[in-house]
Structure 1
């Protein structure tokens, strides 16, 4: 039996503070029931901290102000994902349900395909709170405003009931003005010139609604020991079109030694792009050469990245124009990664991986697979080859899932190629076996997550290829030769779908392969029965850091 699913959850106080001004319609229904425990997902807690003894007084003050900005981002994401947070939380009948709602930023379970866990709650709108809930796709298509597909606008109705486009800087004006002021105060405290410039430009972006220049400045930062990823960034929450960016924040402390080790890998991107296992026309784009790899301790999560399953690595910026000019930065969140490896991946391997291959489950392989997933976002194709525009716009709501699938599979491709070149140590069996165990970890995120869909597609594709085998006892063994064949075949398929902007083809792939089979569900049930958590929640904040 599963243990009490919310036992041990510890949510920082900031998640339960703040207010929102635009309620969803469903808020008129008061929640009256406790969660159906057998439908909820288990979490384990983990404390986010880092050694700050080398930080100056100004740097510590800056970190405190960054956390204050992050709390604003957290409240803004509540507005985007749900609506009025305070009235919703107050309507819940017990503390356990309130805590679970805080983890999920609303009444829908993010690791159970967004199923409602509060009675009298309708299905989650695909467009979250970015669009009117009664808006049809046809109505959106007929709206004559180029800004409607912008990452940084919401769609609302005017007094006549007609659709209108509102920039984030207007919709969330009071909060973003406050966040902008705080970032300017951080900039005044910053000694590193690159960090100072970025903070100033990001502060201006909050009020101008133009994030391009600040993204470029973020790419130029090289030596700063503190980093702050903040603003409207990922578009996973918009499952209607995939157009709208969600507010989030990470406060990061750079690990200088680990980052030094990772410097060399980004330089291999152009060479690896040329070697992709696909026709030349799908790999003519050349990745930027200014891409960076760095390792960090993350000391604060807020907003989108803190909702449900937690991110353990970052690849930014998402703006294709910045990627063309500057490449991208890949940030490995070392302490969060270690938490998921120790508390989730290793226990899963002990339940599902054949004992003869468990020795190949290693943290170094998990770190490398995760890292090169982020690097691989820079490979492949961003502009369709047939005039359909960017891949992101051509594939609409499926773009994120396919892009995550591409990054997973090309990340493994990168590992295999660099291993052959002698640039990566260890046994290739470590990377393949840890990769398979990682699928079981990530597929539990479900169809509501782009990462979950990507893992389902890959699991089912690999199974068809015979890349792994399952014995009568239900234990899995990797077939290492077929693993490489399957990797190359799936890489080619995804790159072709992206390059062709083949919306219909991606829809068919997700429909046929992006689902959990009865057999796989039995394996996931074994993981649940072993009381292995699906993800982590964080003890975090100023007090945890001793500030």
Structure 2
């Protein structure tokens, strides 16, 4: 699902020489770090020190490999993506323009654009503009200040709808408005651009998908276009577009946010990856969990492809940048047909070179740094996405789908499942000879990946998932912290911890016990003081946390 793997990372509490603002998560009450009195100009100082955590990268591809028609289509897809960006702003911070009018500091304006609002996404949503307060848990999906209980007790038919907002009229009555009505003007423009692209393309699969997706944007009926997207096989271009992920809805993990990726397929790499999807049923049977939790059969009609991403918009571009995608999120489609796992190879390589390698040199034991390899990083990320198809989608306790049973606790646990089952897949495929390399490469690179990803903090699903893995593996002795302040993998115990955590998470999901998952989050999704100290060393060495992209038709040389 959500499956969007946001692999970037950040320190939840960073030592700064200037005064910090009040710590907060996505909740309505301040939590986490200590309350500190804000001195004059301290927010400008804060932004000035936070902005450099993002490394600038140009998104490009070899457009000469594209057909003449594809070169005509690409600008249309980017224009449609830009509309999704505008819609995401309306969902996250609709007062953007009025806020920007009050801000003179250019660095603050830049930081606002990166975060799609005045809250630092990679530092537990700390506000960095005076007077904005804490980030609402429900973004703009719900009336400001409304409680979960008020929504749950209401008689709204669409109270947990994926494609609507909840509003309160002057009499206090709650109603819902579908996205396709609320955003009708923008969606009609985006739909028209996709129709234009469909007229130009010569690829039958892409033509069908673009036409159906264009219709879906203006109706909120996405099923037919999701099936058509999975059916595409020969397309050179791809477009992921619409309201897809529900991370922004911290109240119920229900309502979706707009986003778009414009993609150019790497056909050579995609061909190499195709075989792995067929192995899912066998891997499912051998999951290290009780038999009753692995009776489902994963779809094998999935696509596993590699791409150059040339444009990010909306949710996937907010704060940390997504480098692999597993969609659609619809469990029914997943069970019937599977998913498409899209590996964003150029963005992945940029993160490896500019972030993972420098972190490894600082935090991985010297004798194990030789095992940090891009192919292992690529495989770990890729199989994270594939692993979303393993495990369990429906509870065994009669509570329906796992997503429905766990509500706002679903996303972080699902991301944790994908992390650990991805590593389980790598281990199994290496043993079968279906994957090349040394297991030490994969395990050490995975460890480095955790140290990279825990810099997210714990206000976001992937951050919580990474901290659970770190703390669980530490408890099991899967790694040790040396006297030099570096981390050394214990390869035998790493495999044992992997199997144990896999069983633990799948069991929690299968039982659909939301209270047990909440307890697990509170106990495991925390950053220990020693680790905070180690992560601060990365900040002092100016190792970036994530990327910010220079992108668009002019960057591609198409203007």
Q: TM-score range by the shorter chain?
A: over 0.9
**1:118 equivalent in structure 2:** 129
Deviation of 1:463 (Å): 0.3
Q: Deviations over 1:214-248 (max 9, x none)?
A: 11110100110000000011111111110011100
2:63 to 30, 49, 52: 52
**1:505 equivalent in structure 2:** 516
Deviation of 1:145 (Å): 2.8
Tell me the secondary structure at the aligned position of residue 146 of structure 1. coil
The reply on whether 1:532 has 2:543 as its aligned counterpart is yes
**1:21 equivalent in structure 2:** none
Q: Deviations over 1:349-395 (max 9, x none)?
A: 00000010000000000000000000000001111111111111211
Q: Deviations over 1:174-217 (max 9, x none)?
A: 11111111111111111111111111111111111111111111
The reply on whether 1:172 has 2:180 as its aligned counterpart is no
Q: Deviations over 1:269-328 (max 9, x none)?
A: 000001000011111111001011100000000000000000000000001111111100
2:387 to 376, 393, 402: 376
What pairs up with 1:318-357 in 2 under 5 angstroms?
A: 318-357=329-368
The reply on whether 1:492 has 2:506 as its aligned counterpart is no
8 Å contact kept, 2:47–2:111: no
Tell me the secondary structure at the aligned position of residue 63 of structure 2. coil
Deviation of 1:3 (Å): 11
Distance 1:443 1:234 in 2: 21
Tell me the secondary structure at the aligned position of residue 444 of structure 1. helix
Which region of structure 1 is more displaced relative to structure 2, 193-202 or 154-163?
154-163
8 Å contact kept, 1:474–1:523: yes
Distance 1:144 1:38 in 2: 47
**2:470 equivalent in structure 1:** 459
1:36 to 40, 46, 61: 46
**2:289 equivalent in structure 1:** 278
Distance 2:299 2:16 in 1: 48
Distance 1:98 1:443 in 2: 26
The reply on whether 1:64 has 2:75 as its aligned counterpart is yes
Which region of structure 1 is more displaced relative to structure 2, 53-62 or 174-183?
53-62
**2:260 equivalent in structure 1:** 249
Distance 1:118 1:207 in 2: 35
Distance 1:217 1:114 in 2: 37
**1:479 equivalent in structure 2:** 490
Tell me the secondary structure at the aligned position of residue 44 of structure 1. strand
Distance 1:470 1:218 in 2: 46
**1:140 equivalent in structure 2:** 151
Q: Deviations over 1:441-497 (max 9, x none)?
A: 111111122111100110001000000011111111000010011001110110011
**1:308 equivalent in structure 2:** 319
The reply on whether 1:424 has 2:459 as its aligned counterpart is no
Tell me the secondary structure at the aligned position of residue 36 of structure 1. helix
Deviation of 1:398 (Å): 1.4
**2:553 equivalent in structure 1:** 542
Q: Deviations over 1:481-528 (max 9, x none)?
A: 100110011101100111111111111111011011101101110111
Unaligned runs of at least 5 residues, structure 1: 6-30
Distance 1:285 1:158 in 2: 45
What pairs up with 1:357-436 in 2 under 5 angstroms?
A: 357-436=368-447
**Higher normalized contact order (CA 8 Å, seq sep 6+, divided by chain length):** 2
Structure 1 runs (4+) deviating above 4 angstroms are 1-5
The TM-score, its normalising length taken from structure 2, stands at 0.91
Tell me the secondary structure at the aligned position of residue 448 of structure 1. coil
Deviation of 1:264 (Å): 0.3
Deviation of 1:93 (Å): 2.3
Distance 1:213 1:149 in 2: 22
Distance 1:222 1:309 in 2: 30
In structure 2, the CA distance between the partners of 1:370 and 1:351, relative to structure 1 (3 Å rule), is: same
8 Å contact kept, 1:2–1:531: no
8 Å contact kept, 1:173–1:207: yes
Aligned-residue Cα RMSD (Å) equals 1.7
In structure 2, the CA distance between the partners of 1:138 and 1:341, relative to structure 1 (3 Å rule), is: same
**1:16 equivalent in structure 2:** none
**2:34 equivalent in structure 1:** none
Q: Deviations over 1:138-194 (max 9, x none)?
A: 110122233221211111112322111111101111111111111111111111111
The reply on whether 1:264 has 2:271 as its aligned counterpart is no
Tell me the secondary structure at the aligned position of residue 253 of structure 1. strand
Tell me the secondary structure at the aligned position of residue 53 of structure 1. helix
2:119 to 95, 104, 108: 108
Deviation of 1:4 (Å): 12
Deviation of 1:57 (Å): 3.1
In structure 2, the CA distance between the partners of 1:516 and 1:4, relative to structure 1 (3 Å rule), is: closer
Tell me the secondary structure at the aligned position of residue 64 of structure 2. coil
The TM-score, its normalising length taken from structure 1, stands at 0.93
Deviation of 1:83 (Å): 1.3
8 Å contact kept, 2:47–2:108: no
Deviation of 1:84 (Å): 2.3
Deviation of 1:54 (Å): 2.6
In structure 2, the CA distance between the partners of 1:195 and 1:3, relative to structure 1 (3 Å rule), is: farther
Number of residues of Structure 1 aligned to a counterpart in Structure 2: 522
Distance 1:538 1:448 in 2: 23
